[in-house]
Amino acid sequence: MYAIIGGTGVYQLNVSIQNLNIETEYGDVDLDFIEFDNGEKVYFLSRHGKDHSKPPHNVNYRANIMALSLLGVKYIYATAAVGSMNKKFIPGDIVLVNDFIDFTKSRVMTYYEGETGVKHVDMSDPYCSNLSNLFLKRAEESKVDIKGTAIYLTTEGPRFETKAEINMYKNFADVVGMTSVPEVVLAKELGMCYATIGIITNWCTGFKSEITLHDIESSMNMNKEKLTELFIDIFSNENLNQNNCKCNDSIIKL
């Protein structure tokens, strides 16, 4: 089974959408899904809720990822709105996220709280290289312009970063967002292949112009539908296999 986390581009597709609610020990999760002719399903999860009411620091990441796992999902593509602090990436660009730096402060990062012993998760390949490479291949075939790979720095939010913070962060990363961590970590803990595509929505504070809601919305709307179509194309046409990566074998037990 497959999942797409992020925007609402699916609703622009000519497909029949079904809804469901999944109960987890961490909370309930509302999802949508479509079904292929072979019975496989693609689930769609809006991390901020369908009404976009959950700010990034209050998203129930553990419930979201657990719900997908309970449904049997093994492969996830996520979209993320990000600000650029790399002059190579301008608003409207699409980038492939290949690593992260975590500057969040108060989020629950794990399913493993010690009840089953000490466990660590390997982060040497946080974003599945197999899913990422398939995305690049399909994007090139579809002539979707991917500007490059990017290191994602996650901040707590919901406030934007200060000029001083961005001046520091730009030495370590390319883009800034508020949602990739702990989402990517939790997916890895549950043995799921997870890849993130960043949509540059604005320049970070101190770069060129002020951040506006209009800039963010227009950049997302311009890209989310074609990315959703690419994800579905991969899910429906590629023979995905977790033997091509180590995502399902990332837990180190002590």
Question: What are 46-92's pLDDT values in tens digits?
Answer: 998 877 789 999 999 999 999 999 999 999 999 999 999 999 999 88
pLDDT digits (tens, 9 = 90+) for 119-153: 899 999 999 999 999 999 999 999 999 999 999 99
Are 241 and 106 a contacting pair, CB within 8 Å?
no
pTM here?
0.93
Bridge partners of 117, per DSSP, are: none
Q: For 47-79, give one letter per residue: b (16+ CB within 10 A) or e.
A: beeeeeeeebbebbbbbbbbbbbebebbbbbbb
Q: CA gyration radius for the chain?
A: 17
Q: Look at residue 76 in the predicted model and tell me its pLDDT.
A: 98
Is a pLDDT exceeding 90 seen at residue 172?
yes
Nearest to 75 by CA among 250, 252, 248, 251: 248
Backbone angles phi, psi at 238, to 5 degrees: -95, 145
Higher pLDDT, 68 or 202: 68
Above 60 in pLDDT, residue 10?
A: no
Mean pLDDT, residues 34-51: 88
Q: Token digits for 128?
A: 């599945």
What is the domain partition of the chain in residue ranges? 2-253
* C-alpha dihedral sign at 147, 151, 152, 153: negative
Distance from C-alpha of 145 to C-alpha of 214, rounded to nearest angstrom: 22
Structure tokens at 81: 């709105």
Element (H, E) at 218: helix 213-237
pLDDT of residue 174: 98
pLDDT band at 115 (very low <50, low <70, confident <90, very high): confident
Whole-number percent of the chain with pLDDT over 70: 90
Residues in the chain, how many? 254
Q: Residue 13 pLDDT more than 80? A: no
Cα 224 from Cα 229, distance rounded (Å): 9
In this prediction, residue 85 carries a pLDDT of: 96
pLDDT higher than 50, residue 165? yes
pLDDT band of residue 224 (cuts 50, 70, 90) is: confident
What is the bridge-based pairing of β-strands 18-24 and 27-35?
A: antiparallel
Give CATH superfamily name and number for 2-253: Nucleoside phosphorylase domain (3.40.50.1580)
Confidence check: pLDDT of 102 > 80: yes
β-pairing verdict for 149-155 and 94-103: parallel
